[in-house]
Every structure is written in structure tokens, then in C-alpha cells.
Amino acid sequence: MDEGMFFKKLKGLDTSKEIFKFLRSLEIMSDIMASAALQRISKVEVDDSGLKNSGVLENEVFRALCFQFEYESSKLSNTGLLNALQALIKLRIDPQSSLMASLLSESQERLGKGQLSIKNLCDLGEALLELEGPSSATLEQILNRMQEKDIEKWSPSEMVMVYRMLQMSVREGEQYQDLLNRMNNVTLTIASQLSPKFMSIILNSLVVLHQTQAVPLVITLCKHSVKHVPYFTDDELVNVLEAFLYFGHREQIFTEALETHVPKSIFTMHPETVSKVMKYCCQKMILSKPIFDAVAEVFISDADGFTTNQIAEYIVPFGTLNYLPPSAPLLFGKLESILRTHFSQFQPHTLLNLLHSCVLIQRYPVNFLARIFSPYFLQQLQAQPHGLDRFVTSQLTQLFLTATLECPFYEGPKLPPKYQVKAFLLPGCSLDVHLLNRVKTGLLYLLKKRIYFASEVSTPYFYTVDIEIKLDEEGFVLPAAQCEEVHRRIALCVDGQNRFCINSHHLLGEEAIKQRHLKLLGYEVVQIPFFEIESLKNCRKVAAYLRKKIFPHAYGLRC
């Protein structure tokens, strides 16, 4: 039987019994065919828990194959030798046996003589990693041989194999950075030729090997990945998204490709893949309504089968990006139903993140606040790796303030004072100092003296006001330091681009809840968004804008 017919027939056999029967019908076969048979046996008889049926190793056909490989190892082709070695390792053949010793010895001899191709080197490397782990002494010799090869002559498949080999063996990549640099430069020239699978593998390797200096390659691969979005498998898409996140890259056309692909495919996508899509949108501050609406729909129908982490990863971005989908009542009804039945299964930090994200968009977890503020839950939080750090206590305090201001009917336990922060930690909504200075300059032009406004004012209510202006009962502006006769307090929210979703005028959840709470605390909130002020050319125009915005009728200064 010729090899093509043999491989086609072998591929259709799904049990070792069928394979052995097929092999008995052949009078002669090449070593490549015999090694392929061993590989097929290992594929059907080995799963994550190991060898399914140890009787396979006692089969007379199997033993005859092994005998031939052991005693004729020097006559084998490189492909036959290394395929057999890989298959026998997967079948858990004793590494100390004479069979394995013979194959390993022959492989190392050919390695020393420089007789192995790039594919052979990778196959041997993968076999040794499986057998001995990254500490294998021969791995260094294999990698040194790779460095001697002419990388520009490698095919895309060979390039991918070496990336994977480096990824599995050296992790950090520092020892072989010169080899990686050469590979990265050559890969840059063939990026457009890479298949979805190859592109995904290389991006994953660049992440694992911390190739932060390979920015041109990463950008090129990310751009070319756009055309593959509909064709990536779930695992491949996860690798690409992780690369975007790790290297801090964002492509508008990639987001548009996701917006087309995800809503059409979401009901067949693995929940972990959808979680990664939401993480990408959340970290990049991308409010994609088509994606979020589709995620809400699949959550409503399928969330009972999700892990607790997946549930949080689906929901938290809605709060972070301050978005309620059209199906919000059903979405949060489903979430409440899951929390009622699975509350105790959530990790404390995961649960806190989830409930905190809900209050950002005015979905109040009133039925669960008593359990969050209980001594037992707070002790659980404290026992976690990060404990009750300032970020966690900020979330707890904001939940407590929300219950106080927005849920007056809540009568359960309160958050003990020792867990409350003096000021919220809002890393995503920090002040745009340049924008703040422009506003302060405009106010100085308008109010003539610096005493009439204060910036970055701490309040007793945990929030920091960007700029505060005080007025008396008659509407005169008071000196900022004056505490008597204050009738109105104006809070200017100087909102830079970092307080909005990317490429939009849509406030993030943290800034939205801050402005909502300041209003409930008695402030008159005046929003000064970047997009209204960035086109004003001088401080006179800024002052005119501020006057219209803050004092639409008239104002005076109280000396």
C-alpha cells in the first residue's frame, strides 16, 4: 500500500483494535508508516488521565513494531525516529527501557552530527520537554543548533514550530533573545501570509516570552488579524485578544470586526471566549453596543451554565462602561436569580466586584447588602491574598454610600467605620491636569481673584471635587475658604478623555456615580467635558464658556 492510501485509511480508524487489525493486513510498511501507526494509537488510547487500556502495550503487533524500532533505530528516517519517540512518550513507555534508550541515543547522535532539520529539532525538543521537562540538558543543544540555521529560509510552519519550542522551553526568552530578534524581524516580512492558526500561536508566544520590544511585529500581526476574526477558533481568538491586552494595543478596525462577528456567533462561542471579549472591551474602555447587547442576550439564556468568574466577567463591564442594554430588566433579573442560588459559591473579591459594578448603573443589590456588610463576609475578604486594601475598601464604602443615598428603604447592617475610606480610590477617573489648569486659568480671568474657587477639594463624603465654588443666599460668589453663609455649592467636574469611553462622549461608570452622588449630597454639579473646551483657543473664550456654563443668568463677587 502506498503511503497516501495508508494515511487516509489510518485516519479513519478510531480504536486500537481496528488499527492492529489493519496493520496485520499489511505485509510491509515504511518506518514513517509504522511511526504514524504508533501516533494514531497514542491519539485514540491516551487522554488527560493517561493510558485508557494498558493491554494495548501487550498486543503482539504493538510489540513487533517496538522491537523493530529498537533494533533498527540507526536505519530509521529522521521523521520515523522522532514520530515514534513522541508516540511512545505519550503512551507512557518506561523512559529507562532499552527501547526508549535506543531511540533517545540515536536522536542525540544525529543532533550532535547536525543531521536534523528545523522540524526534526522541534519534534525532538517537544519530546524531551514531555519526557524530562524544561531542565533537559539536550534542549540547550537543540536551541543552539536552531541558532545556526538560516532563518530567512524557514517556512511559516517552521517559524511557528520554533516559536512554540522557545515558548515551552525557555519562557523568559532572555538567553535566546538574539534568536528571537532575528525570528521577529523575519516574521514581520511574512505576517500577511500567516494563517489564523499560525498568527494566533505566534502572538501567544510573544506574550509568553515577554517580547515587549517587538512592537512593530505585534502591531503588524494585530492589523493582519482583522481579516481572520471570522475564522479564528475560540482558543485562537482568546490568544489574539490576550496579545492586544498584554501589549496595550488597540485597533479600531479590529473592534469593528468583533462587532460584526460576535453578535452573529455568540450563541456558539465558548463562554470563556466571550469573557475575554468583554475583558478586552472593558480594559480598552470600548463601549460596543452591538457586542454588549448580544452578551446580555446570551447571559439571559445561558448563564446557568457559567462559572462564577464568567458571570462576573460578563456583567462587570456593563457597570465599568456605564451601559444598560435594552434587555436590562431581564439581564439583572437573571443575575439576581443566580446570586440567590449560588451566592456562597462566589469568591469574595469576585462577588464584591460584581455587586459594585451593579450600583454604578443604578442596579441596587439591596437583597445582598446585609450579607456583604456582615462581619463574616468582611473577614472572608480580609483573608484573601490582597485583603482589605484601599481599592477593596473604596468599593465597600461606595456600596455603603449608595445604600445610604439611593436606597433609603434599606434597613440592614451598615459598613463599620473601620472599613470606610476617607477618600475614594478611583484610578480610572484621575484628573486631567492640563484640562484642569485651563479651567482654572479661565476661572481666574472670570472671577479676577484665585480666592473665589478651590481645586481638588476633599469632602466629608469620600469624594474629591475637582473645583468647588460657594455662593451665598443672594447668589454672590464667596471666598472658597469661607464656611459661613454658604447657601449653594457648585461642583465643577472637569472631565478629561480618560473619564469617557474611548472615542465617545459617554461617561464611565465611576464618574457617573460620583456626579450622581454629589447631586444627592446637595451640590450643583456642572460638567466641564474635554470635548466642549478643547477647541477654545484662549482664556478669554474659556472664561466666556465658563460664565455661560456656571452662571447662566448673573453673578457677583462677595468681598
CB 106 within 8 A of CB 78: no
CA distance 254 to 439: 36
pLDDT for the residue 531 = 95
Helix (H, G, I), strand (E, B) or coil at 454: strand
E strand or H helix at 116: none
Helix (H, G, I), strand (E, B) or coil at 469: strand
CB 278 within 8 A of CB 313: yes
pLDDT for the residue 374 = 93
pLDDT for the residue 167 = 87
CA distance 488 to 469: 8
E strand or H helix at 383: helix 375-383
pLDDT values of the chain reduced to their tens digit, one per residue, 559 residues = 788 899 899 899 888 899 999 999 888 889 999 999 999 999 988 887 888 888 889 999 999 999 989 998 999 999 999 999 999 999 889 989 999 999 999 999 999 999 999 999 989 988 888 888 887 788 888 888 888 888 998 899 999 989 988 888 775 556 788 889 999 999 999 999 999 999 999 999 999 999 999 999 999 999 999 999 999 999 999 999 999 999 988 889 999 999 999 999 999 999 999 999 999 999 999 999 999 999 999 999 999 999 999 999 999 999 999 999 999 999 999 999 999 999 999 999 999 999 999 999 999 999 999 999 999 999 999 998 888 888 999 999 999 999 999 998 999 999 999 999 888 877 667 889 999 999 999 999 999 999 999 999 988 889 999 999 999 988 899 999 999 999 999 999 999 999 999 999 999 999 999 999 999 999 999 999 999 999 998 999 999 999 999 998 766 676 5
Distances in Å between the alpha carbon of 33 and those of 79, 367, 498?
Answer: 10, 66, 61
pLDDT for the residue 278 = 97
- Beta carbons within 8 Å of 288's beta carbon, 6+ residues apart: 255, 258, 259, 281
CB 37 within 8 A of CB 81: no
CA distance 535 to 301: 46
C-alpha cell, 443: 476661572
CA distance 287 to 524: 28
Q: Look at domain 433-550 and name its CATH class.
A: alpha beta
Q: What is the model's pTM? A: 0.86
CA distance 265 to 150: 42
CA nearest 79: which of 43, 113, 121? Answer: 121
CA distance 262 to 406: 35
CA distance 557 to 486: 13
CA distance 34 to 113: 25
